[in-house]
Amino acid sequence: MTSIKDVAAEAGVSVATVSRVLNEHPSVSEDARARVLAAVASLRYRPNAVARSLRTDQTHTLGLVISDVLNPYFTELARSVEEEARALGYSVIIGNADERPELQDHHVRTLLDRRIDGLLVSPTDGGSPLMLDAARAGTPMVFVDRWIPGVDVPVVRADGRSAVRDLVAHLHRLGHRRLAIIAGPAATTTGQERVEAFREALEEYGLDLPDQYIGQGDFQADSGRRATERFLDLAEPPQVVFAADNLMALGALDAVRARGLRVPDDIALAAFDDIRWFVHTDPPITAIAQPTGELGRAAVRALVDRIEGRAPRSVTLPARLVVRRSCGEPPTTNETPATSEHPSTNETPATNENPVTNRSQS
Amino acid sequence: MTSIKDVAAEAGVSVATVSRVLNEHPSVSEDARARVLAAVASLRYRPNAVARSLRTDQTHTLGLVISDVLNPYFTELARSVEEEARALGYSVIIGNADERPELQDHHVRTLLDRRIDGLLVSPTDGGSPLMLDAARAGTPMVFVDRWIPGVDVPVVRADGRSAVRDLVAHLHRLGHRRLAIIAGPAATTTGQERVEAFREALEEYGLDLPDQYIGQGDFQADSGRRATERFLDLAEPPQVVFAADNLMALGALDAVRARGLRVPDDIALAAFDDIRWFVHTDPPITAIAQPTGELGRAAVRALVDRIEGRAPRSVTLPARLVVRRSCGEPPTTNETPATSEHPSTNETPATNENPVTNRSQS
DNA sequence: CACGTCGATGTAATCGATTCCACGAGGAGG
DNA sequence: CCTCCTCGTGGAATCGATTACATCGACGTG
């Protein structure tokens, strides 16, 4: 590999001068600069980022540890994170935790070993000592989507509360009274919050959320299937199943289908997280859409602010309800297919406009 | 940050001894080893991977440049790549090219700057000078899924030829005679091959593939929609649309639906690349499934072989037809939902067993 | 007893960059 | 004309590891 010494030799200057040219230091003569650039070009020299990082103690790299790459929500998040980071001059290394705390730890450790400049995490659990230590030790860090309470780290997330209320209003209006939820792991904030929001919304309508209508899931399709089967085995099965993420909704769909039942006629289905495929499932699925792309970008901006010495801000954006047919009513809005937009812009607006239903109370 | 010097001081030995303990060099006394390990633990020391890489000239990192992360096929590929790499002691940095050659180049450049040990690429185009240079310069490299002809780099891919023949047989048996294809970019091997395989299979049945039945796509949903609209505008529209990847199939579905037409009654649809959502679309979509996970793993093994001085092998695995209802016939096999399998093993077997249809000629 | 061998350890060179410091030339100002 | 400052430049230290080489003591063998 050609190094800065080779360039210096070729250009007839010292390595210091080469470095100055490369870093756009002002005091370099026009002559020297030209010779260096010529040498760089002719040798096809590229600076060794490893050496540079060692010296400057910065890698211009962000770590992103997400819970599950196969979940389209996180895929989209990862994509927007990379995009914004690139715009700000950073690279991103993605670690996929697969909802497994020990894998999450593995990635956090590897990323810290590589001396990434900052860490974006969507924690799978309540936080390992490793991660908490890193946060306390001053590693620039931002939580995205999920977070860990009691840790002094900015959080960028969506608030689904109002959208969940819209959903319950919608369901109530359609005559559904027995509503069940497939929850995420209790160790995650999103696992808890969505259940709470759901319960609170039900209370507004005088509805109860009995324990047997709370399925325990782990954000994976399989758990959604099992929880749904259990619901269907009840003496009085729920009329609606609300899955706390898109994969569990997929599993629920499997379970319903395996019994020869139909959505929404026999049982209604709704999901947290909207994904493009929901437009084309049988039936199209009513879902709560997060402003995924904006979340990713905001998270990167917060992290980079922190890294570059500015004060990072926590951000909470609203989610919104997208009504389709899986709960029983044909959509009243005419929806443009998600795929009709350009891929790089196909995300749901952050505004909470156009809720299909007005809530009956505040 | 605590460095090896701090550990040495704490343990009362030299940095050399610390390094030896950490690298399991045999000639270290039991006493010194114990003191070093104690110091490492009490200081929570972690070696600086950047410094280590600079000295040893290896990063234990692979680069993976894929065409489009939002495409579930590539997401799954990326996941299996990371998994196998981790098992072999490597990390993976993913670069998403978004089907844009200049972005692909950006990522290749960044990865090379970081001195990754090897590169896994699924090229979006015919190959930029940058990538070709890197290959010639001896950067360990392996192509996965797509490749660039005329470059001496091992290729790990699926052969869809026989599955495409099975598909055409299936379509022919259902009485379809006017078959169209939405092709991928001509600059990609998969873009070309799938059209060729399709044409050859049609010829076996005495069928023609007129130019107007070849839609030009770019592997993105939007192009699938446009191509399908053009098909539907023809005086004699095709009876079947075969999309060369799953996103274009999604676009095709959009287009058909926007016209108020139904699949398969008004027009049949099939896709290359099977994804779990195809089980639940309306209707479930007949697709050609690649052994995605096995491709990823084989690619990593080939690359690591190359890196560690063994001879890498090109690998070609068969794809297989998965019949669902989108072409007109209820499936004759009872399909287990994709989500019933454990997420880490939910991939299609590499064998070509169980084709629903026997071809009428070889 | 002398010498060679081997195991344990430390010193210092090295990887490829950045950057502090010193130095010389040239220009401005007194 | 001398002094001082600025500009351009090179030498050398530095980042945190690995590793070649030197050293030294203990031990086995002739």
Min Cα distance A208 → chain B (Å) is: 31
Residue A331 has pLDDT above 80, yes or no: no
Mean pLDDT of B116-130: 92
What is the band of B96 on the pLDDT scale with cuts at 50, 70, 90?
A: very high
Size of interface A-B (CB pairs under 8 A): 140
Mean pLDDT in residue range A76-104? 96
Q: Residue A261 has what pLDDT? A: 94
Q: What is the DSSP letter of B234?
A: S
pLDDT tens, residue by residue, B225-273: 999 999 999 999 999 999 999 999 999 999 999 999 998 999 999 999 9
Running DSSP on this structure, what letter comes out for residue B281?
A: B
pLDDT band at A332 (very low <50, low <70, confident <90, very high): low
On the question of pLDDT at A345 being above 50, the answer is: no
pTM: 0.89
Q: Are A60 and A117 in contact (CB under 8 A)?
A: yes
Evaluate if residue A86 carries a pLDDT over 50.
yes
CB contact under 8 A, A78 and B72: no
pLDDT, tens digit (0-9, with 9 covering 90-100), for A91-126: 999 999 999 999 999 999 999 999 999 999 999 988
Q: B330 pLDDT band (50/70/90 cuts)?
A: low
Please give the Cα distance from A163 to A202 (Å, whole number): 13
Which of B56, B81, B96, B346 would you mutate first to test chain A, the one with the most A CBs within 10 A?
A: B96
pLDDT of residue B353: 35
Q: Is the CB of A47 under 7 A from strand C?
A: yes
In angstroms, the CA of B129 and the C1' of D16 are apart by 35
Instruction: Specify burial of residue B208 (Cβ count, 10 A radius: 0-12, 13-18, 19+).
Output: exposed
B346 has pLDDT over 50: no
Mean pLDDT throughout A128-152? 93
Distance (Å) from the C-alpha of residue A84 to the closest C-alpha of chain B?
13
Q: What is the mean pLDDT of residues B97-118?
A: 96
Q: What's the sign of the alpha-carbon dihedral A16, A18, A22, A26? A: positive
Closest CA to A114 of A61, A65, A66: A61
Q: Is the pLDDT of residue B327 over 90?
A: yes
Query: Count of CB atoms within 10 A of residue B47's CB?
Result: 16
Which pLDDT score is estimated for A340? 35
The beta-strand segments (E) located in chain A are 61-66, 91-96, 118-121, 141-144, 155-159, 179-183, 214-216, 240-243, 268-272, 286-289, 315-318, 320-322
- The arithmetic mean of pLDDT across residues B156-175, rounded, is 96
Rounded Cα distance, A196 and A31, in Å: 69
Q: Provide the phi-psi class of B187: left if phi over 0, else alpha when psi is between -120 and 50, else beta.
A: alpha
Mean pLDDT of A279-287: 90
Q: Could you say which residues from 181 to 220 on chain A have a Cβ atom under 8 Å away from some Cβ of chain B? A: 220
The mean pLDDT of chain A is 90
Confidence of residue A144 (pLDDT cuts 50, 70, 90): very high
The two three-digit tokens of residue A304, written as one number:
């980079």
Q: Considering chain B, what is the average pLDDT of its residues?
A: 90
Q: Is A233 helix (H, G, I), strand (E, B) or coil?
A: helix
pLDDT band, very low/low/confident/very high, at A337 (cuts 50, 70, 90): very low
Maximum alpha-carbon separation in chain A: 87
